[in-house]
Structure 1
Amino acid sequence: MSIADRVQVHEVQTLSADWYVLKKTRFSFRRSDGAWQEQWRETYDRGNGATILLYNRDRRTVILTRQFRYPAFVNGHDDLMIETPAGLLDAAEPEARIRAEVEEETGFRVGTVEPIFDAFMSPGSVTEKLHFFVAPYEPQDKVGAGGGNIEEGEDIGLLEMDIDAALVAIRSGMICDAKTIMLLQYAALHIFR
């Protein structure tokens, strides 16, 4: 049986369609025991995205970004977030979008990108599925200033870190972004063994 056979949508209300789309849905879900249970859930739809970790195996370094994130700030994070470059797909294919995004944010033009996995980052309330990539870089691959798109409010700094220092930064709480932690752990297991 498909999960679609266990869901009956009764009502969908759009609560906000400003920055992204916030909906409230009343539905019934058929439980494992066969009983139908009515529920209400809010879903935040911001579209799907992609993220990438640039790495230099010989130098044992990775490229990360630093930027202000208001939701993290209001939840007590009083610093810039250290993250892997990322962005929404905006109807583009994941690989094409991440190539453009990494150059916009970091100034690096990447060659081969390797898709490694997809993941839902907060499936209890956010619809977004994130496509994860890794790519090697060399210092001469930096072709632009980076910094992000000022019209989108971006003010992105660049950070080149030793992989071991990045892993310590996870343990210390300096790096606390989920997608970045996932990619750094992947790199520790598969790239910088």
Structure 2
Amino acid sequence: MKNELLNVETRCEGWTTLSVAGIRLPNGQILQREVEDHGVAVAVLAFDPERKTAILVRQFRAPPFLTTRQEYTLEVIAGLVEDSDSVASARREALEEAGLHLRSLERIGAVWTIPGVSTERMTLYLAAYQPSDRIAKWGGVVTEHEDITVIEMELSALAALMESAELVDMKTMGADASPKIASP
């Protein structure tokens, strides 16, 4: 016998959808789980292999603020996938969030961000850039209330943030752990 999805009841629809799923386990036990769904996502760590720098974004995130009053998080460029094309979505997010034109992207992998609660599956990419690829200085889409500060930092400084546990964003840690970034 396999796990069986019995029902899904939507409780809230907005930027995210909150549902309750009824599931029968192989042993016959029935459980209910709350599930958050806001779509498939992408994240990209843009780095300059020549200058040994990376572009990250600093932005307000409501959940960390709610739980710890952390004002901002430092993260790789990320966003939701539109039209099921993760590469195009990564390029769009890089332009919207960091004013950065990405040429080629290298897929690192795809991960479940919070598998115990969320349906979000995020594809992680690396993308080399050059100073000329920074075609704008803006940060974020006004209608999405994105007040983003674009930060270019040395890869050694990014590694130091990871070592000191000051970098707290999981997708950024996952992308930064790539061997290509560790020794570009």
Q: Quick one: distance in 2 between partners of 1:92 and 1:166?
A: 31
Q: Is 1:36 paired with 2:32?
A: no
Match of 2:22 in 1: 26
User: For 2:84 and 2:138, how far apart are their aligned partners in 1?
Assistant: 20
Residue 190 of structure 1 aligns with an amino acid whose one-letter code is K
- Cα RMSD of the aligned pairs, angstroms, is 1.3
Structure-1-length-normalised TM-score: 0.90
* Consecutive unaligned residues in structure 1, runs of 5 or more: none
Any unmatched runs of 5+ in structure 2? none
Give the partner amino acid of 2:16: Y
Matched, 1:191 2:181: yes
Q: Name which of 125, 131, 136 aligns with 2:128.
A: 136
Aligned residues: 183
Contact 2:176 2:182 in 1 (8 A): no
Question: What letter is aligned with 2:172?
Answer: T
- Identical amino acids, percent of aligned pairs: 30
Q: Cα distance, 1:106 vs. partner?
A: 0.5
Query: Which of 137, 140, 154 is residue 145 of structure 1 equivalent to?
Result: 137
**Residues 60 and 192 in structure 1, CA contact (< 8 A), matched pair in contact too:** no
Find the structure with the greater CA-based Rg: 1
Give the structure-2-normalised TM-score. Answer: 0.94
Residue in structure 2 matching 1:104, options 93, 96, 112: 96
In 2, distance between residues paired with 1:19 and 1:103? 22
Counterpart of 2:13 in structure 1 is 17
Matched, 1:93 2:85: yes
TM superposition shift of 1:191: 3.3
